[in-house]
């Protein structure tokens, strides 16, 4: 393939020069063999904006295909960002797991994979695994900072937040928390995960890169209030890390980000049966243990009373169900509680 640079040990071809100053719109070309095109590829749009010698940040969205505040924000940022207004390098992938994003689904129609369960990937694996391997082994080593923009997708609606892990290394923890404070979502969720698993956030943390994940809304639509938080947030992070001039601007309505956590499984409610979930409270409400959290209805039997579900913990209603229809074992409530920051 003339005009492209191959990358050893990964079949992904980067049709972009990460070292070239200015702004480039390029592609990551990932092989995808088909019956009618054995050498077929899928190209994933990538944008690099570079000026001078400052740090590098990687912004990604569309890790899950049906999460949109991040995708819209990064599409807007790709067009708006002028190399002259930065000192450093900004790498932007607005729709990272491209087949899932094109399909408007969390997972890929190609291999059925959840991209955020595919790290550190495998250069000889499925589409998602090959791409995860490229992001982990080729893109992350270029980065000083990383941020992955998520929302709740079809399944969940989430109170707008950034998210990070409770890290053992206090200096890394401080740097990540400072980045979250700069982003300034209404809430910062610190998750205690001993084995954070095969996520992009964990891959970045393993490489000692200050990194954030986020949940910037949900229900597979664009929440305009959360979009405003996200657009402001990515610029705040660019200022915080010194790539853009200026100081992070606090949100006029929310003020300082509220640092919270999900301490245990009492904060979750999983439904005991399939049905229709009717919530009792709005997302973001302060709720009390022992009070009704919602009702599970059964369309097959109008004479059957709904099952009442009860909060087992008090706190902020951080996640609710996105779609009313639920299957046995689906979570419909997650409560967050204040954390000493
Ligand atoms: Zn997601």
Ligand 1 center from residue 25 Cα (angstroms): 24
pLDDT average, residue stretch 165-184: 95
Ligand 1 center from residue 215 Cα (angstroms): 7
CATH number at residue 318: 2.40.50.100
pTM over 0.85: yes
Same domain, 227 and 207: yes
pLDDT average, residue stretch 187-200: 84
Ligand 1 center from residue 322 Cα (angstroms): 13
pLDDT average, residue stretch 296-302: 98
Ligand 1 center from residue 51 Cα (angstroms): 31
Same domain, 308 and 196: no
- Domain boundary residue, one of 261, 279, 297: 261
Give me the pLDDT at residue 196, please: 65
The mean pLDDT value of the chain amounts to 95
Give residues with Cβ within 8 angstroms of 177, minimum separation 6: 164, 188, 190, 259, 341
Ligand 1 center from residue 263 Cα (angstroms): 21
Same domain, 247 and 110: yes
Place of tokens 């695994």: 129
Same domain, 168 and 255: yes
Question: By percentage, how much of the chain surpasses pLDDT 90?
Answer: 93
Task: Residue 15: give the domain boundaries.
Answer: 5-261
Strands 211-215 and 145-149: parallel
| pLDDT confidence bin for 254, thresholds 50/70/90 | confident
Coil, helix or strand at residue 210: coil
Domain count, the chain: 2
| pLDDT confidence bin for 35, thresholds 50/70/90 | very high
Please state, in angstroms and rounded to a whole number, the distance separating the CA atoms of residues 136 and 119. 7
Ligand 1 center from residue 200 Cα (angstroms): 11
Ligand 1 center from residue 152 Cα (angstroms): 6
CATH number at residue 160: 3.40.630.10
Same domain, 92 and 194: yes
Ligand 1 center from residue 84 Cα (angstroms): 32
Same domain, 13 and 59: yes
Please state, in angstroms and rounded to a whole number, the distance separating the CA atoms of residues 26 and 45. 6
Same domain, 279 and 168: no
pLDDT exceeds cutoff 90 at 255: no
Ligand 1 center from residue 85 Cα (angstroms): 30
Coil, helix or strand at residue 68: coil
Ligand 1 center from residue 83 Cα (angstroms): 29
Ligand 1 center from residue 153 Cα (angstroms): 7
Same domain, 62 and 110: yes
Ligand 1 center from residue 101 Cα (angstroms): 11
Same domain, 178 and 280: no
Ligand 1 center from residue 96 Cα (angstroms): 11
* 8 A C-beta contact, residue 159 and residue 284: yes
* 8 A C-beta contact, residue 227 and residue 301: no
pLDDT average, residue stretch 173-190: 97
- Domain boundary residue, one of 261, 295, 316: 261
Ligand 1 center from residue 325 Cα (angstroms): 20
Same domain, 208 and 321: no
Same domain, 171 and 318: no
Same domain, 190 and 169: yes
Ligand 1 center from residue 299 Cα (angstroms): 30
Token pair for 206: 């393993």
- Domain boundary residue, one of 261, 276, 309: 261
Give me the pLDDT at residue 244, please: 98
């Amino acid at each position: 393939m003339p005009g492209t640079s191959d990358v050893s040990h990964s079949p992904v071809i980067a049709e972009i020069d990460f070292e070239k100053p200015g702004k480039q719109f390029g592609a990551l070309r990932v092989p995808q063999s088909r019956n009618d095109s054995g050498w077929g590829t899928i190209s994933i749009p990538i944008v690099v904006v570079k000026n001078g010698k400052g740090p590098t940040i990687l912004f990604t969205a569309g890790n899950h295909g049906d999460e949109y505040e991040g995708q819209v924000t990064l599409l807007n940022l790709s067009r708006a960002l002028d190399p002259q207004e930065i000192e450093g390098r900004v790498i932007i992938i607005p729709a990272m797991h491209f087949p899932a994003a094109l399909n408007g689904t969390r997972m890929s129609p190609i291999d059925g994979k959840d991209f955020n369960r595919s790290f550190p990937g495998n250069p000889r694996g499925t589409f998602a695994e090959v791409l995860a391997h490229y992001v982990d082994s080729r893109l992350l080593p270029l980065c000083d900072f990383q941020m992955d923009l998520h929302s709740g997708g079809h399944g969940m609606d989430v109170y707008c937040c950034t998210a990070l892990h409770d890290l053992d290394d206090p200096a890394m923890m401080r740097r990540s928390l400072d980045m979250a404070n700069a982003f300034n979502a209404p809430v910062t969720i610190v998750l205690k995960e001993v084995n954070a698993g095969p996520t992009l956030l964990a891959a970045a943390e393993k490489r000692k890169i200050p990194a954030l994940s986020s949940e910037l809304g949900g229900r597979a639509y664009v929440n305009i209030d959360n979009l405003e938080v996200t657009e402001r947030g990515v610029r705040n992070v660019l200022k915080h890390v010194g790539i853009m001039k200026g100081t992070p601007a606090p949100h006029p309505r929310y003020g300082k980000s509220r640092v919270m956590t999900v301490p245990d499984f009492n904060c979750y409610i999983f439904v005991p049966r399939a049905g229709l979930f009717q919530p009792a409270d709005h997302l973001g409400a302060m709720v009390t243990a022992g009070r009704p959290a919602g009702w599970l209805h059964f369309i097959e039997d109008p004479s059957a009373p709904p099952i009442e579900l009860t909060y087992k913990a008090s706190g902020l209603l951080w996640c609710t169900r996105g779609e009313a229809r639920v299957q046995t074992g689906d979570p419909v409530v997650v409560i967050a509680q204040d954390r000493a920051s």
